Amino acid sequence: MELGWTPPEPKSRFDILPIVAMAEGDKPEWGVLPPELTEPIAIRHPKYERGFNKMGLKWCRFPALSKLGFDIGGVQYSASPFIGW
């Protein structure tokens, strides 16, 4: 918000944050993804559908693969789905 972005009103648990990027030595720049690319979809589970529906969880439908790897229990994942925090 210090860069000039204004959050949507009313705020929700599923607000899409802007993308912020900067090159070394430059100031950060931000941009907003078009709404048609960020439409949330409900998360469902075939075995626990009732529980998931109660939580009202959502996810954007365009996960991108990142080059950020991570390690869980000694297993290295080099291309994990990631769309930001």
Q: Over 70: is that where the pLDDT of 80 sits?
A: no
**Residue 76 pairs with which residues in a beta bridge?**
71
pLDDT value of position 10: 94
Token digits of residue 19: 């993308």
Token digits of residue 80: 């994990």
Mean pLDDT of 10-16: 86
26-77 pLDDT per residue, tens: 888 888 888 887 888 888 888 888 887 888 888 776 655 555 666 778 887 7
| Cα 29 to Cα 4: distance, rounded to the nearest angstrom | 10
pTM: 0.53
Q: Where are the domains of the chain?
A: 19-82
Q: Over 90: is that where the pLDDT of 21 sits?
A: no
